[in-house]
Amino acid sequence: WEAVMQVFEGGHEQVVIREDAGTGLRAIIAIHSTTLGPAAGGCRHWVYPDADSALSDALRLSQGMTFKNALADIPFGGGKSVILGRPGVALTPRQLETFGAWVDELGGRYVTAEDVGMQVSDLRVVARSTRFVSGLGTAGFGGDPSPHTALGVLTGIEAAVRARLGRDDLDGVRVAVQGLGSVGFQLATLLRQRGAELRVADLSGERVARAVKGLGAEPMDVADVLFADVDVVAPCALGGVLNTDSVPRLRASVVAGAANNQLATDDVGELLTERGILYAPDYVINAGGVISIAGEYLGQQDPEWTASRIRGIATRLGTIFERAAATGESTSRIADQMARERLARAARSELQGDREVA
């Protein structure tokens, strides 16, 4: 682990690397920023090829959460945790409780939640050791954030279609959904309810068959769906799918989906702009889930608190699209600028003794 820490070059407020010999648990908690409030971000349980990859993922994801939360109109900074898994081995209750104890030792600087490889049931075990966890749904509200993520992405797609295609509805709009997991399938369902024509792909043939039968979707191969002849491509699976090889082959006018870290590198945003493809920055459009988690953690039982912030995704994207069109810069660069602007305002306010709240 000491060798792994050499990879860390700074920019984060705190990086905690822990290993428990008794349970075999290995985890990293990365706190990127608490400028806007406690660092909030889910816990990912994943099988990494090595510790370097796990650390890199934690650092990258936690920084992304800082920007996501900054533009989501919630009073939280950015953080992320990753648990290094083993192939085919589930986490034990003791391991989850140990992880919760590590979160608790941070005294509220980091608030954890669900991410890839974790379930609400896992979080409830984590909560035995800490109160700094959200997405439990035990108070009669909150819980699984995926429906809110899907709704936010739908809102963002509507905003992008309005900006790029001049359409105020989705009737007949062709959308290719890559990935039919918990968010992707719910998004496909919402799109179909609004009249969109669907092309879908997933590694699970069962999920694809369900979409074909229940939503009238056209099935496609996972390797081809990004390049379908459609109006909108919605990446809802793994990150890094937009790169210098894939972007030149895109046929859609809009890319707007739920996947995190869709751009393989920052310069891919410029490539999309050069091709005239409108990109909805992923951490802006997929913020519905973290908005829901924030509301639960803050005890906001009024559904309008969450709903208004999810509706705000369309407003923020509209501003990003307008600024990008006016300056010629990529939408991804504009989104980063807007996030930094909010962080700078909050930092100035904090220096004056009056922390900005959403």
* Active-site residue set: 80
User: Do 70 and 79 touch, CB atoms closer than 8 A?
Assistant: no
User: Do 242 and 267 touch, CB atoms closer than 8 A?
Assistant: no
Helical packing angle, 146-165 and 182-193, nearest 10°: 50
Distance CA 147, CA 83 (A): 24
Q: Which two tokens stand for residue 309?
A: 């912030």
Which of 210-220 are b and which e, b meaning 16 or more Cβ less than 10 Å from the residue's Cβ? bbeeebebbeb
Which residues neighbour 102 within 8 Å (Cβ) at sequence distance 6 or greater? 16, 18, 27, 29
Which residues neighbour 46 within 8 Å (Cβ) at sequence distance 6 or greater? 54, 57, 82, 83, 84, 85, 116, 117
Distance CA 61, CA 92 (A): 25
User: Which DSSP category does 92 fall into?
Assistant: P
- Element housing 101 (H / E): helix 93-105
Q: Which pairing describes strands 25-33 and 14-20: parallel, antiparallel, or unpaired?
A: antiparallel
**Strands (DSSP E) along the chain, which ranges?**
14-20, 25-33, 39-40, 43-46, 77-84, 110-111, 174-178, 197-201, 218-219, 232-235, 254-255, 278-279
- How many Cα atoms within 13 Å fall on the side-chain side of residue 16? 19
Which residues neighbour 60 within 8 Å (Cβ) at sequence distance 6 or greater? 261
Measured CA to CA in angstroms, residue 297 lies from 24, 43, 105, 109 at distances of: 30, 16, 18, 14
Paired with 55 in beta bridges are: none
Q: Which two tokens stand for residue 267?
A: 């310069």
